[in-house]
Structure 1
Amino acid sequence: MHTSNETAIAAGSALPLPSPLPPWAKELLKRPLVEIRRGFSTGYDAPSEDASTIVLTAPSGKYVDIRFSTLPRSQAQAALAVKAQGKIWGYATAGLSTATIIPGKGGCPPYDCTVHATWEHPIDSSGSFDTDGADLLLLANGARMEVGSMVIRGKMQMFKEYWVTPTSGATERPCLVAELLEGGADGAKGMAIRIGDYCQGILQHGDEFWFERWEVQEGKDHKWIKDERSNTPASEMGILPCWWMTEKARTLGETLLTDGRKWCVTEVVVDDTSKL
């Protein structure tokens, strides 16, 4: 779901991969990548979906994953979970991902082609700052299936997640990553990623957790709209730099000072992924 396989201007380097890559690997490792989850299941149960989940992954492997719960809730719960600082009705994380093609899989049949991925999440709304992993498979319809295991309700279980790429809107260019510089005494951590018509950002420090999602509104005006489930202030120039990243083209090393914190553009894609 998140890895690096192309040259980009970035803080950090891309992972070395075998060349030439088989077609299935090109699809699983393609970056930049916008992914929308379309189902989750445990064991061999049929998939269902209870969250609005979008993951943005840059070529370096840096990612921002925001999952707004779509489960019913009372007005009181909504006010607490979405509008109060440090709360999220759902789950969100950001960090760095890597992936490897399992040895011997270069010439595998399509149904047995897998990539193993891991995700570090030093920014995490649950406070579990660990690393997890799963295997990725390319389905016949072009979707991706993620298969792994984790503790669910006190029991280790297999899980499956189904991911698709949006069919409308810009989903590759431009690709920008902005990161918080100098966390300060409170140890703040922050990351925001824009890929095409999508932008998501997270800032975590102490007991506070700020997050937001922006998307381009469909239609002729090409207007950016902030998801109302975001918990950052309503004003444009707020805590996170998403509004700034969507305003116009930004360059590597460009900085923004907002809410007393300094953000820096640490990655900008400049090459053509269509030639992979």
Structure 2
Amino acid sequence: MPGDATMPIASVTQIDWAFAGTSTTAPATDDKPEHTTWAHWVDSTTPDAESVKDEGDMIRLPSGDAVERGQMVNPNTGKVDKYEESWVDIKPLGEKLGWVIKAQGQGARGILVRIGGFAQGILRRGSEVGIKRWRHVGGEQGWDTIVAIGNCDVPAEIFGAKCSVMEEGDTFVDGDGLEWVCIEKFKGNW
């Protein structure tokens, strides 16, 4: 992948918190705001990602953006703290397609997501965590690494010819023998 050889890899201690998984949302009612719960499948703060309780009320703003308010265990202190986050919806750039690729085995869990011209992933192997973000730069140049923290090596062929024609069920093996499987593919209307 272009850019990987020259991209400086930052320290894993620079990760505040990274995770990947799924979310479910209960719609707003007359007396309650929209409520979203995130199920962590891989988490930078713990190898037991499923133990993390992560949920909050989503207050929609007139702009269409949202403010999430909730409480959860602060991974730095171990105590329950209130939090507030801002969410801004953006239009993806590039091709109107995306996919989700998941890996599990050999003591590792990883997820790599592509939406349009961006992709990012997290890989946890025991206590080691790596995160990467890529940007599609077009033409022969392909994909460029724009953030790399720790070791998040994925099969190079993901960013090759299969990148735009990937199908659910396609499998890839990285340099360490870890198998990655495409679990979702979608086309957007953005």
Q: Judge same fold: TM > 0.5, yes or no.
A: yes
Report the counterpart of residue 159 of structure 1 in structure 2: 83
Q: Give the alignment partner of residue 182 of structure 2, picking from 246, 265, 276.
A: 265
Distance 1:242 1:169 in 2: 22
Equivalence map 1:15-26=2 (5 Å): none
TM-aligned CA deviation for residue 228 of structure 1: 3.6
Distance 1:242 1:164 in 2: 31
Paired residue secondary structure (1:82): coil
Q: Give the alignment partner of residue 244 of structure 1, picking from 136, 158, 161.
A: 158
Paired residue secondary structure (2:18): strand
Report the counterpart of residue 82 of structure 1 in structure 2: 10
Distance 2:123 2:171 in 1: 16
Report the counterpart of residue 3 of structure 2 in structure 1: none
Greater CA drift, 129-138 or 245-254: 245-254
The count of corresponding residues between Structure 1 and Structure 2 is 174
Paired residue secondary structure (1:227): strand
User: CA 1:240–1:258 in 2, change beyond 3 Å: closer, same or farther?
Assistant: same
User: CA 1:216–1:190 in 2, change beyond 3 Å: closer, same or farther?
Assistant: same
Q: Which residue type is aligned with residue 203 of structure 1?
A: L
Report the counterpart of residue 213 of structure 1 in structure 2: 133
Paired residue secondary structure (1:213): strand
TM-aligned CA deviation for residue 210 of structure 1: 1.9
Q: Give the alignment partner of residue 201 of structure 1, picking from 118, 121, 127.
A: 121
Question: Does the CA-based 8 Å contact 1:194-1:242 persist in structure 2?
Answer: no
Q: Deviations over 1:15-56 (max 9, x none)?
A: xxxxxxxxxxxxxxxxxxxxxxxxxxxxxxxxxxxxxxxxxx
TM-aligned CA deviation for residue 125 of structure 1: 0.9
User: CA 1:126–1:168 in 2, change beyond 3 Å: closer, same or farther?
Assistant: closer
TM-aligned CA deviation for residue 230 of structure 1: 3.3
Give the alignment's Cα RMSD to 1 decimal: 3.2
Report the counterpart of residue 144 of structure 1 in structure 2: 66
Return the TM-score normalized by structure 2: 0.75
Question: Does the CA-based 8 Å contact 1:201-1:241 persist in structure 2?
Answer: no
User: CA 1:269–1:230 in 2, change beyond 3 Å: closer, same or farther?
Assistant: same
Paired residue secondary structure (2:62): coil
TM-aligned CA deviation for residue 119 of structure 1: 1.1
Distance 1:114 1:232 in 2: 39
Distance 1:154 1:258 in 2: 35
Alignment pair present for 1:192 and 2:120: no
TM-aligned CA deviation for residue 124 of structure 1: 1.0
Identity %: 29
Question: Does the CA-based 8 Å contact 2:130-2:148 persist in structure 1?
Answer: no
TM-aligned CA deviation for residue 249 of structure 1: 2.1
Distance 1:167 1:194 in 2: 13
TM-aligned CA deviation for residue 262 of structure 1: 1.1
In structure 1, stretches of 5+ residues that fail to align are 1-78, 234-238
Greater CA drift, 257-266 or 148-157: 148-157
Q: Which residue type is aligned with residue 257 of structure 1?
A: V
Report the counterpart of residue 119 of structure 1 in structure 2: 38
Question: Does the CA-based 8 Å contact 2:26-2:35 persist in structure 1?
Answer: yes
User: CA 1:243–1:144 in 2, change beyond 3 Å: closer, same or farther?
Assistant: farther
More strand by share: 2
Distance 1:221 1:165 in 2: 30
